[in-house]
Structure 1
């Protein structure tokens, strides 16, 4: 589809209004039944938590990650998927390998006969003062957090356009894309997340004609295994970070489950080019 600038007919979610009205099902517009969703960075952490929620909403999920093996939790969620009549598959890939990435996404789409959604959660973090950052480290950060996200979205969008059913793409950004974190020295990371927010707007502008919606999700501080390790090195942050938001606590990965389902489903059918920031009020002071 490279170079194709012509729109193709796509299903309009608004046409489902008549079906939703009077239904005896509970909030059917949130259902992802029969859909196929890719989650990059889905081998552990927030990405895997999102994958589990997407399965519970009815979709088939392909989790992509560069880990040799996914988290031990993956097997449990895979069993749950089978019980729910769905499936969870793992594919090892580095999002920096663009050619292999496009090939893999195409293979997934061919195997399932469709591709409906993406949660692009692959990313890395590095805490280094700006005066000490090397160009190599900056480039690595941007290569994964920006170019990798861009190319993953591109690969998925090409398949969505090929099938003509539209779709929803969710790019995981961060509250750090719009603020400078007090006491957290990560200039390259914050810049990369700001780029993801802007990337989401621009992809939404280009791909809306194909019925593809693109939004970003910007979490606040999340307590993951990686953050727990960070607290060992910087124990004061366990006490200070919760004081920086209006709820006085840090978030858990599962608190973003509903947001992912909302953004992927028809519940957000008129939402695109937007950033959904969920940060406990951190940036609202």
Structure 2
């Protein structure tokens, strides 16, 4: 018979864990990074932007108050060599890496008949190849430093990888997110033998800063999109904080090769 826990929900704690978050300069990536900090993790955010958003300074201050750190690194997920250098330097500094949230991605709304090859290639390079290269670099670091056992990765997909969004014409984006879901399953099947878990997270519509700008151009979409799910509203980045901690912690220790859909019931109709 197991002994009763002396602390509340210890399996959600990330004390001593080093986690990399791509796309962590702003939006969902930064929000989830803050949640990981609160759970005790040391976080390294990687993004292509020259500097993170203004809110990064607030999160950094919170990290200090929590007794941990968050560090920003500039890198393009399409640049395999540059990405390897960043991940390797993080792993060397901490003697390992324990987790990854791959949230870097781009969006483009263009009808299929008007899509240019260069745009299609860029979309797939960032959203699919970039996610793969990131996961590969982190897995190599885990194996090199012996932190693979108990390692966990969350690849950010989308409900758009399951359904075609009514009224939102994004054929290559949707295809890329379907690929991310399949990539997670395949990496999970290969790396399970090393103790590395890989899952995907499929959010519904999230009101990030970029989406707010889009709603200024198309204000009617807010009500339309909200009407497509069972809760009748759009989500906020903070509503995916718990999912980040769950998927990166031992709370999900027997979960791999799965897709966690958090979409207000959009795809359940």
Alignment match, 1:271: 255
Deviates more, 1:194-203 or 1:234-243: 234-243
2:17 match: 35
Give aligned pairs, total.
Answer: 267
Q: Quote the offset at 1:27 in angstroms.
A: 0.1
Query: What's the RMSD between the two structures over aligned residues?
Result: 0.9
| 5+ residue gaps, structure 2 | none
Partner Cα distance (2:166, 2:146) in 1: 45
For the 8 Å contact 1:60–1:87, the answer to whether it is kept is yes
Once residues 263 and 235 of structure 2 are traced to their aligned partners in structure 1, the CA distance between those partners, rounded to angstroms, is 8
> Partners in 1 of 2:187 and 2:109 — Cα distance?
29
- 1:24: how far off? 1.8
1:110 maps onto 2:105 in alignment: no
The reply to whether residue 199 of structure 1 matches residue 183 of structure 2 is yes
TM-score (norm. length: structure 1): 0.92
TM-score of the pair, normalised by structure 2: 0.98
Give the aligned partner of residue 209 of structure 2: 225
Instruction: Tell me if the contact between 1:173 and 1:197 (Cα under 8 Å) persists in the aligned partners.
Output: yes
User: Does 1:156 find its partner at 2:138?
Assistant: yes
Contact 1:37–1:59 under 8 Å retained in 2:
yes
CA distance in 2, matches of 1:59, 1:26: 17
Cα contact 1:179–1:283 (8 A) shared by 2: yes
What's the CA shift string for 1:108-132, capped at 9, x where partnerless?
0000111000000000000000000
Taking the aligned partners of 2:109 and 2:9, their CA distance within structure 1 comes to 42
Matched position secondary structure for 1:153: helix
The answer to whether the 8 A contact 1:164-1:210 is kept is no
Query: Which residue of structure 1 aligns with residue 103 of structure 2?
Result: 121
